[in-house]
């Protein structure tokens, strides 16, 4: 006997009371009748679904095994369409069609596949890294390892390659706690890309929320992804998924019909003109509609329970809190997540905006959500480019943007700070290009962000000029050191570890090639930066984390903080308007450990008088040099042009050594 819940295809093992088979259930209020279609090669069987409950069509078929391909057929405007199950746990092949999509082509499209949830996790626990200790490493599943010649245990560019010993070693050496994968739910490329024989490389065009994309598997995407996650967990590395619940691959009013459009028109936000487009992708999912909310919540729980996913980064998350034209901090979705015992322990990271009205919501997501802090990105880039008027804003960003994210709500509201993300310049391109170079995308360089706040350091693009290269490396150190020694959760782009360049392309969403694939050919300069980065991450963990704790929650007042001018005087209100250098003095308790961060924004050296707090300061880092050798410092420090220095001293209650 069939049941309406759970939705999707769910196997049932035989026992004395129940036969072996599979229960199929699909929510389809807009379909008066549906047929279940089972495929076996070129052969197919059809079953009329007669059982209905609360708009759910359901049927039980005996003797169904893992690997069975299926779909649902519905007559739409006199044509029989094959619809993909929105609750598909796997698909038969990477989806593809030649535009335009049609009823006939739907029968040759990818099919849903019945799966078995059984997997041997071997008792490996999830790492459960505290937020304050988290170092996020954003990567593309394929692009991260596709060109790495050292991969030996798996196909480069695959799920399994993520957990190849070479990659595990790299992540651990770099001090990474959590990898954030660009979307891996099965993606369908937009029609304009298909017409160009292109692809949505980043994966931000979801076809089925619960099915891993077969593009990154050799045989079985489900098993191979779970295996990679298990091995990453075994080595203490979390896995965060970038998820796209703000829109689907069905696009706008004239877009293809894959499933939701035919099953229930209320899945999407609409107005008198049709589908609302708050995402720039043609449609916007309406999470005030119960079926939409159920689909998203069921998908999130599935990834956590069946794949042991540690967290999610939500693309254009403002859409998830929309009630029409307005964003609602008390939206049904946020309440649903907050009360869910499966999702409560996970990391939840919001991209806190979309392109619709009331779309920019930085700082307004509920407790339990961390947010991508684009204010940090823009301010830090502008400051180190040498733009005037950013000193006060710069100070605010390195202190955790507390006007958006109060320290009393840390660590659960620590901002996710970043310099580079997948959408935009890599770190290397940020210091190598003044302008975007997106011609390869086929849109006449009109696509991509125009406000990059980049600086080519004197020459546009690649160069052999030793002085320019040295300046670029110093700028990279300035940007990353600021990121690691600011209050927040650091987000690092995987490409930046190997100083990868995209040739100035700041919107490589369609570049499934060497533009996006990380270049693992390392010269001495790249190797030095990679080694320096790992040491700086270790320095953050050793020296910065105690200060984040001291500025957090109820104990956040158990610290000292002072701002200094280069002459040693305390910063006054008028100083914030014209100073070109800045000193930040942090202390724990009344006489505990201290940090001193000093910044020089201009190209001329500055003699910086240090605070009169004996004993001797010890140097952690000077970005004017790749070397991290310690140095004892007394009352002055000669700060090189366009550089920053971090000094440390141990307090009275601790050993005065490094």
Annotated catalytic residues are 315, 351
Which helix (H) or strand (E) segment holds residue 145: the answer is helix 141-145
Strand, helix or coil at 438? coil
Question: What tokens appear for 367 in the block?
Answer: 């407790």
DSSP string, 144-195: HHTT-TT--SS-TTSTGGGGSHHHHHHHHHHT--EEEEPP-B-B---HHHHH
Q: Hey, is 321 helix, strand or coil?
A: helix
- Quick one: which of 176, 239, 165 has its CA closest to 538? 176
Half-sphere exposure of 217 (CA within 13 A, CB side): 21
- On whether the CB atoms of residues 576 and 601 are closer than 8 A, the answer is no
Asked if 395 contacts 584 with a C-beta cutoff of 8 angstroms, the reply is yes
Kindly provide the b/e burial profile for residues 427-451, where b requires at least 16 CB atoms within 10 angstroms of the residue's own CB. Answer: bbbbbbbeebbbeebeeebebbeee
d(CA 73, CA 244): 26
Cβ atoms of 66 and 116 within 8 Å: the answer is yes
d(CA 522, CA 504): 19
Residues 6+ apart with CB under 8 A from 507: 423, 424, 436, 438, 441, 447, 448, 449
| Residue partners of 523: CB distance under 8 A and separation at least 6 | none
CA distance 25 to 52: 9
d(CA 590, CA 163): 45
Most distant CA pair in the chain: distance in Å?
85
Q: Which residues contact 628 (CB under 8 A, 6 or more apart)?
A: 532, 535, 536, 539, 620, 621
Give, rounded to a whole angstrom, the gap between the first and last alpha carbons of the chain.
70
Q: What tokens appear for 637 in the block?
A: 């420090």
What gap in Å lies between CA 492 and CA 108, rounded to an integer?
41
List the Cα angle 65/67/73 in 5-degree steps.
95
Burial of 144 by CB count in 10 Å (0-12 exposed, 13-18 middle, 19+ buried)?
buried
Instruction: Give me the residue label for tokens 């519905």.
Output: 74
Give me the torsion for CA of 427, 430, 436, 440, rounded to 10°.
Answer: -30
Q: Answer for the pair 426, 493: CB distance below 8 angstroms, yes or no.
A: yes
Spatial separation of the C-alpha atoms in residues 92 and 83, rounded to whole Å: 14
| Dihedral angle sign, alpha carbons of residues 579, 580, 585, 586 | positive
C-alpha to C-alpha distance for 526 and 508, rounded to whole angstroms: 22
Angstrom distances, CA of residue 417 to CA of 206, 486, 618: 26, 8, 27
Measured in degrees and rounded to the nearest 5, phi and psi for residue 177 equal -100, -25
């Amino acid at each position: 006997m069939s049941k309406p819940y759970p939705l999707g295809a769910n196997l049932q093992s035989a026992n004395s009371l129940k036969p072996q088979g599979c229960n199929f259930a699909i929510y389809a209020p807009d379909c008066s009748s549906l047929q279940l279609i089972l495929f076996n090669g070129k052969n197919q069987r059809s079953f009329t679904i007669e059982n209905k409950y609360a708009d759910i069509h359901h049927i039980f078929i005996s003797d169904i095994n893992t690997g069975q391909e299926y779909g649902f057929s519905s007559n739409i405007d006199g044509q029989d369409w094959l619809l993909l199950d929105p609750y598909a746990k796997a698909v038969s092949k990477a989806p593809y069609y030649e535009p335009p999509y049609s009823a006939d082509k739907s029968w040759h499209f990818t099919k849903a596949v019945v799966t078995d949830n059984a997997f041997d996790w071997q008792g490996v626990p999830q790492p459960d890294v505290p937020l304050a200790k988290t170092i996020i490493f954003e990567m593309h599943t394929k692009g991260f390892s596709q060109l790495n010649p050292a991969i030996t245990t798996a196909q480069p560019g695959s799920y399994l390659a993520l957990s190849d010993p070479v990659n595990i070693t790299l992540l651990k050496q770099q001090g990474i706690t959590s990898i954030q994968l660009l979307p891996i739910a099965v993606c369908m490329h937009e029609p304009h890309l298909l017409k160009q024989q292109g692809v949505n490389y980043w994966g931000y065009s979801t076809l089925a929320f619960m099915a891993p994309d077969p593009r990154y598997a050799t045989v079985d995407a489900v098993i191979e992804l779970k295996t990679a996650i298990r091995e990453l967990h075994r080595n203490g590395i979390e896995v965060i998924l970038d998820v796209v619940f703000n829109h689907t691959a069905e696009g706008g009013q004239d877009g293809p019909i894959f499933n939701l459009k035919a099953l229930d028109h209320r899945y999407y936000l609409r107005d008198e003109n049709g589908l609302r487009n708050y995402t720039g992708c043609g449609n916007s999912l309406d999470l005030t509609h119960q079926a939409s909310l159920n689909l998203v919540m069921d998908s999130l729980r599935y990834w956590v329970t069946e794949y042991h996913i540690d967290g999610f980064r939500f693309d254009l998350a403002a859409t998830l809190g929309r009630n029409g034209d307005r964003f609602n901090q008390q939206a049904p979705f946020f309440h649903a997540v907050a009360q869910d015992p499966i999702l409560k322990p996970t990391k939840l990271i919001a991209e806190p905006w979309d392109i619709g009205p009331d779309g920019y919501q930085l700082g307004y997501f509920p407790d339990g959500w961390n947010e991508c802090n684009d204010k940090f990105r823009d301010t830090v880039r502008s400051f180190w480019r040498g733009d005037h008027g950013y000193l006060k804003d710069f100070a605010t960003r390195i202190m955790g943007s507390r006007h958006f994210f109060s320290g009393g709500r840390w660590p659960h509201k620590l901002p996710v700070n970043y310099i580079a993300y997948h959408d935009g310049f890599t770190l290397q391109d940020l210091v190598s290009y003044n302008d975007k170079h997106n011609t390869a995308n086929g849109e006449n360089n009109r696509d991509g962000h125009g406000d990059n706040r980049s600086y080519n350091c004197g020459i546009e693009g690649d160069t052999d000029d030793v002085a320019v290269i040295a300046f670029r490396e110093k700028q990279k150190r300035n940007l990353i050191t600021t990121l690691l020694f600011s209050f927040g959760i650091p987000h690092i782009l995987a490409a930046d570890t190997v100083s990868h360049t995209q040739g100035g392309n700041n919107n490589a969403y369609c570049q499934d090639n060497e533009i996006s694939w990380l270049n693992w050919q390392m010269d001495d300069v790249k190797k030095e930066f990679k080694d320096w980065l790992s040491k700086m991450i270790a320095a953050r963990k050793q020296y910065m984390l105690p200060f984040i704790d001291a500025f957090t929650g109820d104990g956040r007042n158990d610290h000292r903080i002072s701002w200094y001018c280069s002459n040693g005087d305390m910063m006054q209100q008028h100083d914030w308007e014209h100073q070109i250098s800045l000193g930040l003095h942090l202390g724990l308790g009344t006489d505990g450990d201290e940090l001193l961060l000093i910044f020089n924004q201009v190209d001329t050296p500055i003699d910086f008088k240090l605070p009169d707090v004996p004993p001797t300061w010890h140097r952690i880092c000077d970005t004017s040099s790749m070397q991290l050798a310690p140095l004892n410092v007394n009352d002055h420090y000669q700060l090189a042009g366009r550089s920053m220095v971090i000094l440390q001293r141990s307090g009275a209650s601790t050993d005065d050594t490094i």
